Structure 1
Amino acid sequence: MMDVKEIQTEIYNYEDLNFVAYMEMTITLKGQDQLLNRLLEAFTIIDLSSNKFSATIPHSIGDLNSLRYLNLSHNNFMGHIPASLGNISVLESLDLSSNKLDGGIPSELTRLTFLEKLNLSMNDLVGQIPQSNQFSTFDNDSYVGNLRLCGVPLTRKCNEENGQLIGPEEEDDEEEEYGFIDGFGWRSVVMGYGSGFIVGIGIGYIIIRNGRPSWLVEFFFGVGYNKKKKRLN
C-alpha cells in the first residue's frame, strides 16, 4: 500500500484491469455496506473496525500513500489523530469514530482533496474544525459527540484568539446540536406555547363572561346564547 501504481489517478480501460478470483465480500465503504463480487489486485483498504485495539494510531500509517479507505472505528484508540494521515493524498474515506481520540483535528487533513466521507464522531476532540477544501463539505454528523469541538458546521462558536470553545465546557451541548428548531431553543418554544395557552384561556373566559363579541359567542355556543343567559340570570 506504499506504492500501488496500478491504482494511481490515471484512467484505465475497465477490461484491462487485473482482478483476483471471483469472490463475494461485504465491505463498509464511505459509510455504507457494499457487496463486492470481485476485487482489484491492488484494492487498498484497511478495515479494523469493531475490535478492541488500543494505544495510539501509529504515525507510520501516513506512509501508506496508496490507501483509499481506512476504517478504525469502534475501538479504543487513544491519543491524537496522526497528522501524517494528510500524506495519503488518494484517501477517499476516513472513519475514526467511537474511539478515545483527543486533541485537535490536524490541519494537514485538509490536504486530502479526494476525501468524500469523514467520520470523527464519538471521541474527545477539541478546538476548531478546519474549514478549507473538503472539510467545508462535511456536515454535523461527522463530529457528533465531541463536546469541545467548535466552529462550522456545529453551532458552538470558537474564540477568535485561540480557536477554542467559547464558554464553559459543560455548556448544554445537546441543546446546541439537537434542540434548536429554526433558530429557537426548546425552552423558548415551551415558554411560547405556555404563555399563549394561558393568554388564550384568559381571553376565552372574558368572552364567555361578557358575551362579547356576540357573533363569536353565538358561533361557538349557538344562536340565542345571550338571550338564554339573561333568562337564566
Structure 2
Amino acid sequence: MSWKFPKLESLELSENNLKGKVPEWIHDIHSLEDLKLSKNQLSSIGQFPWHDLVYLDLSFNLLSDDNISFICNATSLFLVNLSHNKFRGTLPHCLPNLSRLGVLDLQMNKLHGTLPSTFPMNLFTLNLNGNQLEGHLPKSLANCTRLVDLNLGDNEIEDTFPHWLQSLHHLEILVLGSNKLYGPIVSLKSKDMFPNLIIFDISSNNFSGQLPIAYIKSFQAMKIVVGAEGQSSFYYISGYPFRVIGSSLPEYDDSVTETMKGLRSNFEKIPNVLVSIDLSSNRFEGEIPYDFGELNALISLNLSHNSLNGHIPHSLGNLTNLESLDLSSNMLVGEIPPELTNLNFLASLNLSNNHLEGSIPRGKQFDTFSNDSYEGNMGLCGFPLTIQCNRGVPQQQYPPSEAEDKFGFGWKPVAIGYTCGMVLGICLGWCVFWIGKPEWLVIIFGGTTTRIKKRSRGNSRRARTT
C-alpha cells in the first residue's frame, strides 16, 4: 500500500482498535514526519524506518519491547511520547545526541537503571514518572534551561534535594515525590528560586529538618491569582511553550498525577490554576511558617505525616482560593484558627491525629466537614463531634465506673472495704464458734454447744466436793 502514500508526512490513527505489531504498510511510509498511534492495543513496534520523524506518539498502548533505543534512528525527533506502555530496559545512551528533542514523555513504563549523565539541552518537558529508575539526579539537568515540566516522581532515585535546579527559571512543575531522597533542604540566600513554579511535590521521601521556607517564599507564581483583575490569564501548560519556528506540530499537553482533596487524581491537562504544594510523608519538623499565607494562588496544601509542631498559623486564612488542606498526622497544638472559616472554596479539610484543642470553628465550609476531619484530637469539642464544649473546653464524659469514682463509690474503695470486711467477718465467725456464744447463732449455722456444757458439769462437781 506504500505506493498510495509516497509523500505522506503526517498520519494519525489514535483511538482505534489496532492490535499486535504496527502494520507493515505504515512501516513502508518512509516520508513520515508526524506519527500518532496512541490509545490502541499495539504490542510491538517492529522495525523503525522513519528517519525523518519529528513527532512520535505511541502512548497508551501495550508496547513491551525490551528497549526504546529505536528512537536513536531519528535524529530529528522533537517530541517522543511513549507513556503508559510496558517498555522495559534502560534509557538509551543516545539521548544527548537528540539535540532537537524538546519533549520526552516516558511515564508509566517499566524502565530501570540509572538516569543518563546528560540530557538534550533544549528539553521543555521531561516526564519519567512511574518507572524503576535509580541512582543520583544528574546535575546536567541544570543546563536544560528551557525546562518547564520536570517530573521524576515514583521511582527509586536516591539523592539529596537538587538545589542546583533553582537556575531553571522557566520551571512550572517540579515533581520528585515517592523516591528515596533524603536529608535537610538547605536554605539558600538567593531570592530568585523557582519564580514560575506552580506545582511543587516532594512527598513520600526522607527529607528532614525544617520546612524549606526559603524556597517557598520565592515561589512568586503562587502569589498571583489567575483571572484576578490585572493578573495573568488562564492557560494549559504546554510541552513546548515556545513556538518552534517553521513547524506545525500537533498539540501536546503535559499531564500530572497529584493528591488533591485526599484522592490521587490524574490530570491529562494541567491548567495554570492547579497550584499545589505537597510536602507530605517526610520527616520535617518545627513550626509551620507564617509565610505560607502569602501564597494566595494555592488551591492545595498538604503537610501531613510529618513531625510538625506548634500552632496552625492564622495566616492560612488568607489562602482564599484553597480547596484542599491536609495537616493531619503531625504534633500540632492549640486551637483551630477561626480565620480558616474565610476559606469559602475549602472542600477537603484533614486536621486529624494532632494535639489540637478547644472548640471547632463554625460557619461556611466548616459546617460541611465530618468527624474524620478532626479525629485523634482528644482536646477538640463542638460540631460535628459528639463532645460538647463548656466555655471552649470539652465537657468530661465519664463512663459508669468513673462516674462512681467521682461521687466516692468507685471500684477501688469498694474493693478495699469488701476485703477488710471479709477478713473481719472470718475472724469474728471463728471466735463465735470457738466459745459457742451466742448459742442461737451457733445453732443457726449448724454448730453445737456440747463442748461448753461438758465444761460446765465439770465445774459443778468440783464445787460439791469442796
The corresponding residue for 2:269 is 38
**1:108, distance to aligned residue in structure 2 (A):** 0.5
Q: In proportion to residue count, which structure has more strand?
A: 2
Tell me, yes or no, if the aligned pair for 2:223 and 2:294 is still in contact at 8 Å: no
Indicate how the Cα distance of structure 1 residues 8 and 95 shifts in structure 2: closer, same or farther if over 3 A, else same: farther
The corresponding residue for 1:3 is 223
The corresponding residue for 2:285 is 54
Classify the secondary structure of the residue corresponding to 1:167. coil
The corresponding residue for 2:116 is none
Classify the secondary structure of the residue corresponding to 2:395. coil
**1:25, distance to aligned residue in structure 2 (A):** 2.2
Alignment of 1:70-109 (within 5 A): 70-109=301-340
Q: Percent same amino acid at aligned positions?
A: 48
Q: Is residue 2:63 matched to residue 1:63?
A: no
CA deviations 1:56-115 (Å, max 9, x no partner) are: 000111011111110111111100000000001111110000111010000010111111
Distance 1:146 1:66 in 2: 29
What one-letter code is carried by the residue in structure 2 that aligns with 1:79? G
**1:17, distance to aligned residue in structure 2 (A):** 2.4
The corresponding residue for 2:374 is 143
Give me the TM-score of the superposition, normalised by structure 2.
0.33
Count how many residue pairs are aligned between Structure 1 and Structure 2: 164
Indicate how the Cα distance of structure 1 residues 145 and 53 shifts in structure 2: closer, same or farther if over 3 A, else same: same
Tell me, yes or no, if the aligned pair for 1:8 and 1:66 is still in contact at 8 Å: no
Q: Is residue 2:393 matched to residue 1:164?
A: yes
Aligned residue among 9, 15, 18 for 2:236: 18
Tell me, yes or no, if the aligned pair for 1:4 and 1:42 is still in contact at 8 Å: no
CA deviations 1:146-201 (Å, max 9, x no partner) are: 01100011111110xx3111127xx67xxxxxxxxxxxxxxxxxxxxxxxxxxxxx
CA RMSD of aligned residues (A): 2.2
Alignment of 1:173-212 (within 5 A): none
Distance 2:259 2:374 in 1: 19
Distance 1:31 1:108 in 2: 22
The corresponding residue for 2:362 is 131
Indicate how the Cα distance of structure 1 residues 72 and 7 shifts in structure 2: closer, same or farther if over 3 A, else same: farther
Tell me, yes or no, if the aligned pair for 1:7 and 1:42 is still in contact at 8 Å: no
**Structure 1: any 5+ residue segments left out of the alignment?**
173-233
Indicate how the Cα distance of structure 1 residues 103 and 41 shifts in structure 2: closer, same or farther if over 3 A, else same: same
**1:3, distance to aligned residue in structure 2 (A):** 3.3
**Structure 2: any 5+ residue segments left out of the alignment?**
1-220, 240-252, 400-466
Indicate how the Cα distance of structure 1 residues 38 and 55 shifts in structure 2: closer, same or farther if over 3 A, else same: same
Indicate how the Cα distance of structure 1 residues 147 and 35 shifts in structure 2: closer, same or farther if over 3 A, else same: same
**1:18, distance to aligned residue in structure 2 (A):** 3.5
**1:42, distance to aligned residue in structure 2 (A):** 4.7
Tell me, yes or no, if the aligned pair for 2:299 and 2:321 is still in contact at 8 Å: yes
What one-letter code is carried by the residue in structure 1 that aligns with 2:296? N
Distance 1:7 1:146 in 2: 38
